[in-house]
Structure 1
Amino acid sequence: MFLKRGVVVSLFAGLALMAGVAAHGAETDPVVASVNGKVVRLSDVENARNLLPTKLQGAPLREVYPVLMESLINSSLASEKAVKLGFDETPEYRLRMARISDQILERILLARHIEQHLSDDLIKQRYEQVAEKAAAQSEIHARHILVTSEDHAKALIGLLEDGDNFAQLAAEHSTGPSKTRGGDLGWFGPGQMVAEFENAAMALPTGEFTHEPVKTKFGWHVILVEERRPFVVPSYQDVREILANELSAELGQKYMEQLRSEAKIEKKSFEDVVKALQQ
Structure 2
Amino acid sequence: MENLVLAKVNGKEITQKDVDFFLNTLGPEQAAQFGNPEGMKQLLQEIINQELLYFEAVEDKLSETQAFEEELERLKGHILKTLKIREIFEGIDVTDEEVNEYYESNKARFEKPAQVKASHILVKSEDEGLEVLKRLEDGEAFGEVAKAVSTCPSKEKGGDLGYFGKGQMVPEFEAAAFDLSVGERSGLVQTQFGYHVIELTDKKEPEATSLEEIKPRIQQDIVTRKQAQAYQDKVSALRTKYPVETY
Q: Give the structure-2-normalised TM-score.
A: 0.51
Displacement of 1:169 in angstroms is: 1.5
CA distance, structure 2, for counterparts of residue 149 and residue 241 of structure 1: 50
Q: Which residue in 2 is equivalent to 1:140?
A: 116
Q: Which residue in 2 is equivalent to 1:184?
A: 160
Q: 1:212 to 1:219 in 2, by over 3 A?
A: closer
Matches within 5 A, 1:223-242: 223-230=198-205
Q: What is the letter of the counterpart of residue 203 of structure 2?
A: R
Render the CA deviation track for 1:35-80: whole Å, top value 9, x for unaligned: 41165684762452353545976xxxxxx58666534311122345
Matches within 5 A, 1:28-177: 33=5, 35-36=8-9, 37=12, 39=14, 42=17, 45-46=20-21, 48-49=23-24, 51=26, 53=28, 64=35, 69-79=40-50, 128-132=107-111, 134=112, 137-177=113-153
Q: Which residue in 2 is equivalent to 1:277?
A: none
Matches within 5 A, 1:196-215: 196=171, 197-215=173-191
For structure 1, which runs of at least 5 residues remain unmatched after alignment? 1-17, 20-30, 58-63, 87-104, 249-279
Displacement of 1:224 in angstroms is: 0.3
Q: Which residue in 1 is equivalent to 2:237?
A: none
Native 8 Å contact 1:206 1:228 kept in 2: yes
Larger radius of gyration: 2
For structure 2, which runs of at least 5 residues remain unmatched after alignment? 58-77, 225-247
Structure 1 position 221 matched with structure 2 position 196: yes
Native 8 Å contact 2:119 2:159 kept in 1: yes
Q: Aligned to 1:78, what secondary structure does the other structure show?
A: helix
Q: Aligned to 2:198, what secondary structure does the other structure show?
A: strand
Q: 1:241 to 1:56 in 2, by over 3 A?
A: farther
Native 8 Å contact 1:143 1:226 kept in 2: yes
Native 8 Å contact 1:214 1:221 kept in 2: yes
Q: What is the letter of the counterpart of residue 181 of structure 2?
A: P
CA RMSD of aligned residues (A): 5.0
Q: Aligned to 2:183, what secondary structure does the other structure show?
A: coil
Q: Give the structure-1-normalised TM-score.
A: 0.46
Q: Quick one: higher RCO (CA 8 Å, sep 6+), 1 or 2?
A: 2
Q: 1:69 to 1:164 in 2, by over 3 A?
A: closer
Q: Aligned to 1:205, what secondary structure does the other structure show?
A: coil
